[in-house]
């Protein structure tokens, strides 16, 4: 609790309101406009009723400064607004309400924003310190009326903090849900990659077994030690295949059947796109499979998010790297779905080989996916 108190009072808060949402810019613009309105009214009210040549620039700066800070640090804005509220009220004549209309208009958005952004102990500490600041202000004013208003004022402030907390809790729960869903999708994609890579590796291991077992018939005059070495190598390769099949059983879902067809490769990309440009090179099976899956997912995304668009597929080989480019032009309205897992899956696959994927819109309103996959050998 002491650490939370120190964080609320002293530490820098880098949490931004509506971070990563489409509403961030309009909300920020609205807050700045609201800050100017409240600051002008606060200054005008002070000049009209208290001191025309006094502290109105300070009031203007406190209000606008707290709202400007709110965009980058809600806790920092709350600190400034709380201290500023006490100072502003003490600069005014002691008569009147504990907090007037512009005090409420200034302080409430800041308090609600803190409740929306921060959870648990931070919000509780902010509520306690806010109540303490209002109580101290009522004592400093030394008016019975102000001290009588303090409990109601504190209750209302805490209620509004709770409202902000309730809205923020919903958003935090939604973000946790999406994070967990994305993590689950990533794990499922990695398991799928592992299952497919198993088939590629098992194919190579099977070739090792065959070559070891046929070596005595293909190579004449092998000494006994060499025959025993080939036999042991063949047995070890068979054991490795058996272990991999056991691992595959763990990765496969309970209701999932084993694949009975070979995994696709580089040459099979033309089955996805008849006009695909392919290099006349031989690449490792795992690399060809990755290139195939990248093209497959990119074309699926184009069909889903730009129906009716024209697509092009180009695969080149340069400097020991396979370079895959899939483009689509602008199309019809998106059918939705996907949730961004397709691009994440591409990156997972290509990262296995130490490559990278870039994707983004093109100047003509289309979309382009580029993948660079180190091929190891050409």
- pLDDT tens digit sequence for 204-232: 787 888 888 888 888 888 888 888 888 88
Sorting pLDDT into bands at 50, 70 and 90, what band is 194? confident
Chain position carrying tokens 């730009």: 306
Total Cβ atoms within 10 A of residue 250: 8
In Å, what is the CA distance from 238 to each residue of 200, 229, 242, 325, 378?
A: 15, 14, 6, 39, 28
Beta bridge partners of residue 40, listed in sequence order = none
CA distance 305 to 368: 12
- Sign of the dihedral defined by the CA atoms of residues 283, 289, 292, 294, in that order: negative
pLDDT at 300 over 50: yes
Q: What is the pLDDT of residue 16?
A: 64
State mean pLDDT over 162-180: 81
CA atoms within 13 A on the CB side of 28: 17
Chain position carrying tokens 């668009």: 309
Q: Which two tokens stand for residue 277?
A: 């440009």
Sorting pLDDT into bands at 50, 70 and 90, what band is 10? low
CA distance 15 to 272: 45
The residue among 271, 267, 343 whose CA lies nearest residue 301 is: 343
State mean pLDDT over 182-199: 73
State mean pLDDT over 294-311: 90
Which one has a higher pLDDT value, 362 or 258? 362
State mean pLDDT over 99-112: 87
Q: Which two tokens stand for residue 297?
A: 């997912």
**The CATH number of domain 266-374, selected from 1.10.287.620, 3.30.565.10, 3.30.390.50, 3.40.50.300:** 3.30.565.10
State mean pLDDT over 240-252: 67
State mean pLDDT over 342-348: 83
Q: What is the pLDDT of residue 315?
A: 93
Q: What is the pLDDT of residue 313?
A: 95
- Rounded to the nearest integer, the mean pLDDT of the chain is 81
State mean pLDDT over 234-255: 70
CA distance 91 to 79: 18
Question: Judging by beta carbons within 10 Å of its beta carbon (0-12, 13-18, 19+), is residue 304 exposed, middle or buried?
Answer: middle
State mean pLDDT over 245-265: 62
**Residue 364 backbone phi and psi in degrees, to 5:** -95, 15
Q: What is the pLDDT of residue 378?
A: 39
The residue among 58, 112, 64, 114 whose CA lies nearest residue 89 is: 58
Q: What is the pLDDT of residue 181?
A: 78
pLDDT at 38 over 70: yes
**Residue 91 backbone phi and psi in degrees, to 5:** -70, -20
Q: What angle do CA 187, 188, 193 make, to 5 degrees?
A: 95
Domain map of the chain by residue range? 2-180, 190-251, 266-374
CA distance 242 to 142: 85
State mean pLDDT over 29-43: 84
Q: Which two tokens stand for residue 362?
A: 């093109």
Asked which of 20-24, 54-58, 199-203, 241-245 is least confident by mean pLDDT, the reply is 20-24
**Residue 70 backbone phi and psi in degrees, to 5:** -60, -30
Asked which of 21-30, 64-73, 208-217 is least confident by mean pLDDT, the reply is 21-30
Cβ proximity of 292 and 270 under 8 Å: no
Cβ proximity of 60 and 43 under 8 Å: yes
Q: What angle do CA 273, 274, 276 make, to 5 degrees?
A: 70
- pLDDT tens digit sequence for 303-323: 888 888 999 999 999 888 999
Q: What is the pLDDT of residue 19?
A: 61
State mean pLDDT over 199-206: 73
pLDDT at 100 over 90: no
pLDDT at 106 over 80: yes
Which one has a higher pLDDT value, 125 or 27? 125
């Amino acid at each position: 609790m002491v650490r939370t108190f120190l964080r609320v009072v002293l530490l820098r808060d880098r949490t931004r309101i509506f971070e990563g949402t489409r509403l961030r810019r309009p909300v920020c613009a609205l807050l700045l406009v609201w800050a100017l309105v409240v600051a002008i009214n606060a200054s005008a009210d002070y000049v009209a009723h208290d001191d025309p040549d006094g502290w109105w620039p300070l009031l203007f700066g406190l209000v606008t400064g707290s709202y400007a800070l709110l965009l980058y640090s809600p806790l920092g804005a709350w600190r400034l607004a709380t201290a500023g509220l006490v100072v502003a009220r003490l600069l005014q004549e002691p008569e009147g309400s504990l907090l007037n209309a512009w005090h409420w208009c200034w302080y409430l958005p800041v308090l609600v924003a803190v409740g929306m952004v921060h959870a648990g102990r931070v919000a509780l500490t902010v509520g306690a310190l806010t109540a303490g600041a209002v109580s101290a202000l009522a004592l400093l004013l030394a008016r019975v009326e102000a001290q009588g208003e303090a409990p109601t004022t504190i209750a209302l402030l805490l209620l509004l903090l709770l409202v902000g907390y309730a809205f923020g809790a919903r958003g935090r729960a939604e973000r946790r849900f999406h994070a967990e869903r994305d993590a689950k999708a990533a794990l499922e994609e990695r398991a799928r990659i592992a299952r497919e890579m198993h088939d590629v590796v098992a194919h190579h291991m099977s070739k090792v077994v065959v070559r070891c077992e046929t070596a005595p018939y293909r190579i004449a005059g092998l000494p006994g030690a060499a025959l025993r070495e080939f036999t042991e190598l063949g047995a070890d390769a068979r054991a490795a295949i058996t272990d991999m099949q056991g691992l595959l059983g763990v990765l496969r879902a309970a209701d999932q059947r084993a694949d009975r067809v070979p995994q696709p490769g580089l040459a099979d990309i033309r089955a996805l796109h008849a006009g695909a440009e392919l290099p006349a090179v031989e690449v490792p099976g795992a690399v060809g499979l990755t290139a195939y899956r990248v093209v497959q997912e990119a074309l699926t995304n184009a069909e889903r998010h730009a129906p009716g668009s024209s697509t092009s597929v180009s695969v080149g080989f340069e400097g020991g790297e396979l370079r895959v480019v899939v483009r689509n032009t602008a199309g019809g309205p998106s059918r939705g779905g996907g949730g961004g897992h397709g691009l994440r899956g591409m990156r997972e696959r290509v990262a296995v080989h130490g490559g990278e994927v870039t994707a983004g819109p093109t100047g003509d309103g289309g979309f382009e996916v580029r993948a660079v996959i180190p091929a190891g050998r050409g």
